[in-house]
Amino acid sequence: MDASIPLPSIFLSHGSPMVALEPGAAGAFLQRLGPAIDAAFGRPRAIVTVSAHTLTREPVLLAAARHDTVHDFGGFPDALYRLRYDAPGAPALAPQVAQRLADAGIAVRVVDEGGLDHGIWTVLRHAYPEADVPILPLAFVPSQGPAQQFALGEALQGLGREGVLVLGSGSITHNLRRLFRAQGMPAADAAEIPESAAFRSWMAERSAMHDWEALLDYRALAPFAVDMHPTDEHLLPWYVAAGAGGREHAPVRLHDSVSHGALGMDAYAFGEGAGLLFSGLR
């Protein structure tokens, strides 16, 4: 463990809620992720989460003392609804995070309510299965684009040095019309469609090139951007996590895989510690 290097911020693609029951390649990565973070940086003292499924008209911190599992989906096997990931909250951290946002000119409300949507608990149940790391969800505004989400993340810079993990959860590609088709949903191991492959490759290449200008304008510049994200709420957490890591360091892709042919499961790390985490996962 190198205490001089701060925790990186992380983006995880959560995919279908079924990843909780059928981990696949992405789930196997997530099961290695928690131990890799702990080995390289120590166990996070808390996690600030930004999920594509907790959206509001203004930023809101959910500062409950404890969070219940929210099964915010329908039509899945009963076994999925029986899963629980009830985790401690981080109410004492909320004023500090709120002050960081206020100092950056970002208004935020703090409420003593809670709950973990499936974008949060389905990934964390693999990374930290004991549900023992306190969680502070930060609801974001989906009508605000990549640059505004990046600025939101920038306000959270420095939390990694205090042992707080900033975690964005969404999907690197997310077009449900590509999945729920008249002829049925593609198999989990279906071959990836070219549009998904092109978009994921572009994100990885622009990240490796440290090309923030292109990444922030992805809808105009990335191949098949609107096809892969008809609405972009599932990619916006990538930009929050990226902002928390800062512009100085290039994003590092930690994992890449695809489920059902079109649902990218890529994960990224941002900031000074991204390379160290990448090495620890190899």
Tens of pLDDT, residue by residue over 35-93, are 999 999 999 999 999 999 999 999 999 999 999 999 998 888 999 999 999 999 999 99
Give the DSSP H/E element, type plus range, for residue 116: none
pLDDT of residue 186: 76
Q: In terms of DSSP H, where are the helices of 59-109?
A: 78-82, 94-103
Name 12's bridge partners. Answer: 169, 267
For the chain, which domains are there? 9-281 (3.40.830.10)
Give the DSSP H/E element, type plus range, for residue 46: strand 46-51
> 190 by DSSP, 3-state: which?
coil
Q: How far apart are CA 6 and CA 240, in angstroms?
A: 17
Tens of pLDDT, residue by residue over 222-261, are 999 999 999 999 999 999 999 999 999 999 999 999 998 8
Tens of pLDDT, residue by residue over 85-140, are 999 999 999 999 999 999 999 999 999 999 999 999 999 999 999 999 999 999 99
Say if residues 263 and 185 touch (Cβ distance below 8 Å).
Answer: no
The number of beta carbons lying within 10 Å of the beta carbon of residue 65 is 12
pTM of the full structure: 0.96
Q: Which of 176-180, 188-192, 211-215, 254-258 has the lowest mean pLDDT?
A: 176-180
Q: How far apart are CA 167 and CA 242, in angstroms?
A: 10
Flag whether pLDDT at 182 surpasses 60. no
- CA torsion 245→266→17→263, rounded to 10°? 130
Structure confidence at residue 3 as a pLDDT band (50, 70, 90): low
Give the DSSP H/E element, type plus range, for residue 28: helix 24-41
**Strands of 56-186, DSSP E:** 60-62, 66-67, 87-88, 109-111, 135-139, 164-170
pLDDT of residue 136: 98
Say if residues 207 and 268 touch (Cβ distance below 8 Å).
Answer: yes
Residues of the chain with pLDDT > 70, as a percent, come to: 97
* Greatest alpha-carbon span in the chain: 53
> 274 by DSSP, 3-state: which?
helix
Average pLDDT, the chain: 94
Say if residues 238 and 11 touch (Cβ distance below 8 Å).
Answer: yes
